[in-house]
């Protein structure tokens, strides 16, 4: 990529991508479920992670893209078990733009158009490869994420097992157990699960697919607490009757009615563990209850460990979760071990403390304010900085 010049085609296109993201992220921010952790300093670690993303992602993206083009990396995410997914894609661009927003509000000279162009160009090409339908995100694709091939959908559909009222309640509790466990494992972040679909099964039935990622030991330094969780990745298929399903770029579903599990008529459970990429195998019914038991035990152990952490230890862990949303892309390109995932790393101590203090004062992240199109600002020419 050549150096940017104000008014050049690349400059104009980068501004177009910033303008594209602004109203979408504004709406998603307005819609998201508000949550303020009673234990983990979530907002401080988000600000720290986004600040480091802004200062470091451009160079990391250059290394990744040189090893494997972004288009190919995005296409590699079109399979169960891959966290090259909608929310991780959204995060690459929007964590970077949020970090830029933080820095440039204090000092406009920290705007680096070349880096902005590099990151957004990588995101755009990866998003096109991932979506495969000409759209860039679920927001402009009718709030659908249909990236798995027909073989996966057909395999899940063929395995759907009808449930009665008692079984429906059991499945609902099982799903809640895994969602809650992954929420804490990812330090109060809702990215341990990801929804795809919806798929019309006819006769008033809709199929929703849900991935449960990195249930066991992984690159998370604290994941040793999950050593006894028997599966690393699961894929559940939920057949819902008379339910409207929309899926956002956060990889989460919005349904009508909201209590969609009450409409569950059948389900199936698969894993990618031990399978070739793009393949799934059924989870024996006898294993289902044990998965939830192991998840609850791991969650309890993780909670006890977090409770003993200092503020900065919790911020370091949470920031690692956010900062490493780029890691699956580096892994696909075979360069993850060449990159430094330490975070925080480059922030000056006074900047770190400023962000942490400001985040603590905010509590939960505020809702979007102002005009949607102004959520992110266009590139600043050097003469105006």
**25-35 pLDDT, tens per residue?**
998 888 775 55
Q: Give residue 367's pLDDT.
A: 54
- Residue with the bigger pLDDT between 372 and 147: it is 147
pLDDT tens sequence across 133-175: 999 999 998 999 999 999 999 999 999 999 999 999 999 999 9
Token duo for residue 143: 């709030």
Reported pTM: 0.95
Q: Give residue 10's pLDDT.
A: 94
Reported as a pLDDT band with limits 50, 70 and 90, residue 368 is low
Reported as a pLDDT band with limits 50, 70 and 90, residue 71 is very high
User: 142 — alpha (psi -120 to 50), left (phi > 0) or beta?
Assistant: left
Q: Give residue 370's pLDDT.
A: 74
Question: DSSP string of 327-366?
Answer: HHHHHHHT-GGGS---SS-SS-HHHHHHHHHHHHHH-SPP
Q: Give residue 36's pLDDT.
A: 57
Q: Name the residue ranges covered by the structural domains of the chain.
A: 9-143+311-384, 150-307
Alpha-carbon distances of 128 from 71, 96, 115, 133, 230, rounded to whole Å: 7, 19, 20, 7, 34
pLDDT tens sequence across 241-270: 999 999 999 999 999 999 999 999 999 999
Mean pLDDT, the chain, rounded, equals 94
H/E stretch holding 157 reads helix 150-159
CB count, 10 Å around CB of 251? 24
Q: Are strands 161-162 and 264-271 parallel, antiparallel or unpaired?
A: antiparallel
Reported as a pLDDT band with limits 50, 70 and 90, residue 351 is very high
**Quick one: which of 283, 262, 265 has its CA closest to 273?**
283
Residue 193, pLDDT > 60, answer yes
Residue 2, pLDDT > 60, answer no
Q: How large a percentage of the chain has pLDDT more than 70? A: 95
Q: Give residue 151's pLDDT.
A: 97
What 8-state DSSP symbol labels residue 367?
P
Least confident of 32-36, 71-75, 153-157, 182-186: 32-36
């Amino acid at each position: 990529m050549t150096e940017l010049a104000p008014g050049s085609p690349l400059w104009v296109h980068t501004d177009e991508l910033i303008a594209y993201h602004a109203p979408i992220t504004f709406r998603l921010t307005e819609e998201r479920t508000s949550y303020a952790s009673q234990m983990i300093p979530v907002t401080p670690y988000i600000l720290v992670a986004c600040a480091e993303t802004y200062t470091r992602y451009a160079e990391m993206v250059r290394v990744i893209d040189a090893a494997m083009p972004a288009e190919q990396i995005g296409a590699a995410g079109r399979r169960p078990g891959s966290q090259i997914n909608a929310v991780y894609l959204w995060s690459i661009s929007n964590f970077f733009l949020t970090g830029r927003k933080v820095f440039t509000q204090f000092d406009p000279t920290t705007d680096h158009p070349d880096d902005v162009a590099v990151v957004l160009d990588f995101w755009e090409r990866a998003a096109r490869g991932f979506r495969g339908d000409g759209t860039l995100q679920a927001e402009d694709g009718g709030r659908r994420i249909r990236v798995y091939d027909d073989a996966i959908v057909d395999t899940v559909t063929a395995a759907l097992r009808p449930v009665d009222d008692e079984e429906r309640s059991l499945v609902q509790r099982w799903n809640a157990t895994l969602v809650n466990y992954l929420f804490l494992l990812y330090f109060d972040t809702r990215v341990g699960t990801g929804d795809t679909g919806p798929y019309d099964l006819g006769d008033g039935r809709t199929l929703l697919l849900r991935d449960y990622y990195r249930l066991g030991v992984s690159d998370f330094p604290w994941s040793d607490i999950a050593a006894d969780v028997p599966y690393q990745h699961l894929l559940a298929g939920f057949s819902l009757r008379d339910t409207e399903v929309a899926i956002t770029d956060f990889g989460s579903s919005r349904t009508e009615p909201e209590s969609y599990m009450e409409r569950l008529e059948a389900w199936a459970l698969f894993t990618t563990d031990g399978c070739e990429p793009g393949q799934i195998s059924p989870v024996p019914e006898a294993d289902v209850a044990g998965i939830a038991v192991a998840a609850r035990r791991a969650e309890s152990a993780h909670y006890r460990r977090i409770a003993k952490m200092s503020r900065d230890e919790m911020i370091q862990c949470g920031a690692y979760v956010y900062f490493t949303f780029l890691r699956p892309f580096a892994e696909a390109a075979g360069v993850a071990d060449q990159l430094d995932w330490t975070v925080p790393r480059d922030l000056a101590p006074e900047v770190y403390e400023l962000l942490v203090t400001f985040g603590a004062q905010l509590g939960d992240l505020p809702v979007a304010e102002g005009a949607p199109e102004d959520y992110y600002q266009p590139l600043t020419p050097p003469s105006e900085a």
